[in-house]
Amino acid sequence: MPKPKKHVLVCAQGRPEGHPRGSCQAKGCGPVWQKFSDEFAARRLWESGLQLTNTGCLGPCHLGPSVLVYPDGVMYTGVTSADVEDIIDTHLLFDEPVERLRAPADVW
């Protein structure tokens, strides 16, 4: 595939229960990843120049689930599956970050 216009990175990091850092997995990144995967397939977003990748730790574990969009370098925190369509429709397709989901300035 060619270089994507937008590359969505979804943290899938897990940690043992009780770990002091918590994890995006414990905070529910599974359904977020699934929703992105489903939308990418249903809307043929791969063929539209978008890319989707799961990742290890992106940093702000305590505020997860975390989703990072490059090349913009926009980090979203506290993302739920209900937010995924907003990220696609507003940011990925129309280049306007979803302000309400942006990570606080002290973490990104």
Binding residues for a second copy, rule: CB under 8 A, are 1-3, 7, 9, 12, 51, 53-59, 70-73, 75, 106-108
Looking at beta carbons only, is 75 or 88 nearer to a second copy?
75
**Cβ-Cβ contacts under 8 Å for 46 (sequence gap 6 or more):** 1, 40, 52
CB of 9 to a second copy, least distance (A): 7
Looking at beta carbons only, is 16 or 73 nearer to a second copy?
73
CB of 16 to a second copy, least distance (A): 18
d(CA 14, CA 5): 29
Looking at beta carbons only, is 1 or 42 nearer to a second copy?
1
CB of 86 to a second copy, least distance (A): 21
CB of 30 to a second copy, least distance (A): 14
Looking at beta carbons only, is 16 or 56 nearer to a second copy?
56
How far apart are the two ends of the chain, measured CA to CA in Å? 29
Q: Which amino acid is at 5?
A: K
Is the CB of residue 59 less than 8 Å from the CB of residue 108?
yes
d(CA 69, CA 61): 17
